[in-house]
């Protein structure tokens, strides 16, 4: 089952929380920029 959890206006689903590690905000932001620029395999 997929129950949405509201956090900071984002919906995070329980299945995604189980599958992906929770990153701190700074690392998440850096990975998002690297993914946008196509520089990081880890971000994908």
Reported as a single tens digit per residue, the pLDDT across 10-39 is 555 555 555 566 667 777 777 777 877 877
Per-residue tokens: 24: 């701190």
Both structure tokens of 43: 């971000």
> Looking at the predicted structure, is the pLDDT value of residue 41 above 50?
yes
| 17, part of any domain | yes
Task: Count the Cβ atoms, other than its own, within 10 Å of residue 14.
Answer: 12
Q: Please give the C-alpha separations between residue 44 and each of 6, 24, 32, 35, 38, in angstroms, as whole numbers.
A: 23, 17, 9, 6, 9
Residue 43 lies in a domain: no
The pTM of the whole model exceeds 0.85: no
Question: What's residue 43's pLDDT?
Answer: 55
CB 16 within 8 A of CB 3: no
- Residue 18 domain-assigned? yes
Residue 10 lies in domain: 4-37
pLDDT (0 to 100) of residue 8: 56
pLDDT score of 1 more than 50: no
The number of distinct structural domains making up the chain is 1
Are 20 and 28 contacting, i.e. CB atoms less than 8 angstroms apart?
Answer: no
């Amino acid at each position: 089952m997929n129950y949405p959890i509201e956090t900071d206006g984002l919906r995070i689903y329980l299945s995604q929380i189980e599958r992906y590690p929770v990153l701190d905000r700074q690392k998440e932001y850096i990975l998002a920029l690297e993914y946008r620029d196509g520089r990081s395999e880890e971000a994908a």
